[in-house]
């Protein structure tokens, strides 16, 4: 299995390099690590179905999540997929390969 902490540390370094705010970096990296720990599969095999599964998990854990919070989580995963995996998620959570 991939070393998720190392992958998220690299993601954090990239976000710092991109000039993101500390609070945004903390939120994005926390969500990325939670996502990876829940899905438990090699990073190169992650896809949009995994994001849907993660979001369903969040809803089951806390039915009253604020829509803004959910959007923040999705933004963090979009950034993770784009920066670390090279295949960004579109606004609906679908991944698209870069050509």
Residue 95 lies in a domain: no
Residue 96 lies in a domain: no
**Secondary structure of residue 62 in the 3-state scheme:** coil
Residue 18 lies in a domain: yes
Residue 29 lies in a domain: yes
Residue 98 lies in a domain: no
Q: What is the CATH number of the domain that holds 21?
A: 1.10.150.130
Q: pLDDT under 70 in the chain at which residues?
A: 1, 84-99
**Do residues 81 and 9 lie in contact, with contact meaning Cβ atoms separated by under 8 Å?**
no
Residue 50 lies in a domain: yes
Instruction: State which residues form the domain around 72.
Output: 4-85
**Do residues 50 and 94 lie in contact, with contact meaning Cβ atoms separated by under 8 Å?**
no
């Amino acid at each position: 299995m991939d070393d998720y902490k190392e992958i998220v540390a690299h993601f954090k370094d990239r976000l710092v390099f991109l000039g993101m705010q500390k609070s945004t970096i903390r939120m994005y990296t926390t969500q990325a690590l939670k996502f990876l720990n829940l899905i438990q599969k090699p990073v190169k095999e992650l896809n949009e179905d995994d994001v849907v599964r993660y979001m369903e998990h969040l809803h089951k854990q806390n039915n009253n999540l604020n829509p803004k919070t959910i959007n923040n989580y999705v933004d963090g995963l979009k950034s993770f997929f784009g920066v670390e995996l090279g295949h960004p998620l579109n606004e609906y959570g679908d991944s698209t390969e870069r050509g």
